A and B are shown apart, each in its own frame.
Chain A
Amino acid sequence: QVQLVQSGAEVKKPGASVKVSCQASGYTFTSYDINWVRQATGQGLEWMGWMNPNSGNTGYAQKFQGRITITRNTSINTAYMELSSLRSEDTAVYYCARRVAAGGTPLGYWGQGTLVTVSS
């Protein structure tokens, strides 16, 4: 079955960077885009960006341009999301997610979430 397993919680200081991993199993990793979505406590979901694991092509929300980098290691079926210049407003749960199927479908498979806390 499709599974996305994320790395554990992180505590970072303002100005630092964080790198969250998302290991996929149960399907061909290079066949489906990986998206990253975050959610601050008590707030709604916020889409951050996507990556095609086959080509490495990426797309980012304007809000995060210049601070976010999504990469992958196809040998271990893992995607990464790195966010730099962290501020307190970046404290949130970060999710990786995959479309239900190729093209024309939304996010049907989600990781368990990674809590990133930014605090001095």
Chain B
Amino acid sequence: DIQMTQSPSTLSASVGDRVTITCRANQSISSWLAWYQQKPGKAPNLLIYKASTLESGVPSRFSGSGSGTEFTLTISSLQPDDFATYCCQQYNSYPWTFGQGTKVEIK
């Protein structure tokens, strides 16, 4: 199975901050990487797929980059609604696997 490792596990930031989350795969997944946002008690919400393609309706302050084994999610200017948990997922091959999540907290 492909292992996905995110860092950091928790991130404290303020409104307006630029935030970057990293996701690493233990083998190449090309660009078959997605980022999700999840809030307590809710299903995950797709933000980005194919490493850098913004899902329809997702604000442009979210962006993704990377290929192969290293990927990043960037929020250019953190908004109050962005305090949540973010996780990456590889869909290069089954079994699909997820990172353990990064919780973005209010500083």
Contact = CB atoms under 8 A, between A and B. Distances in A.
Interface of A: 35, 44-47, 50, 59, 61-62, 95, 97, 100, 104-108, 110-113
Given A47-B97, A61-B95, A100-B49, A106 B34 contact: yes
A95 B41 CA distance: 12
Contacts of B50: 104-105
Contact of A45 (B1, B45, B49, B87): B87
Give the secondary structure class of B's interface. Answer: loop
B49 A44 contact: no
Nearest to A62: B95
Given A105-B49, A108-B55, A59 B94 contact: yes
Contact of B98 (A44, A50, A108, A110): A44
B8 interface: no
Nearest to B94: A59
Interface in B58-107: 87, 89, 91, 94-101
Contacts of A44: 87, 98-101
B46 A107 contact: yes
Interface residues of B, number: 22
Contact of A95 (B32, B43, B55, B95): B43
Interface string B3-28: 00000000000000000000000000
Contacts of B94: 50, 59, 61
A110 B95 contact: no
12 contacts: A44-B99, A44-B100, A44-B101, A47-B98, A50-B94, A61-B95, A100-B55, A105-B91, A107-B46, A108-B55, A112-B43, A113-B43
B10 to A, nearest CB: 13
Given A95-B43, A110-B44, A47 B96 contact: yes
A97 to B, nearest CB: 8
A97 B100 CA distance: 19
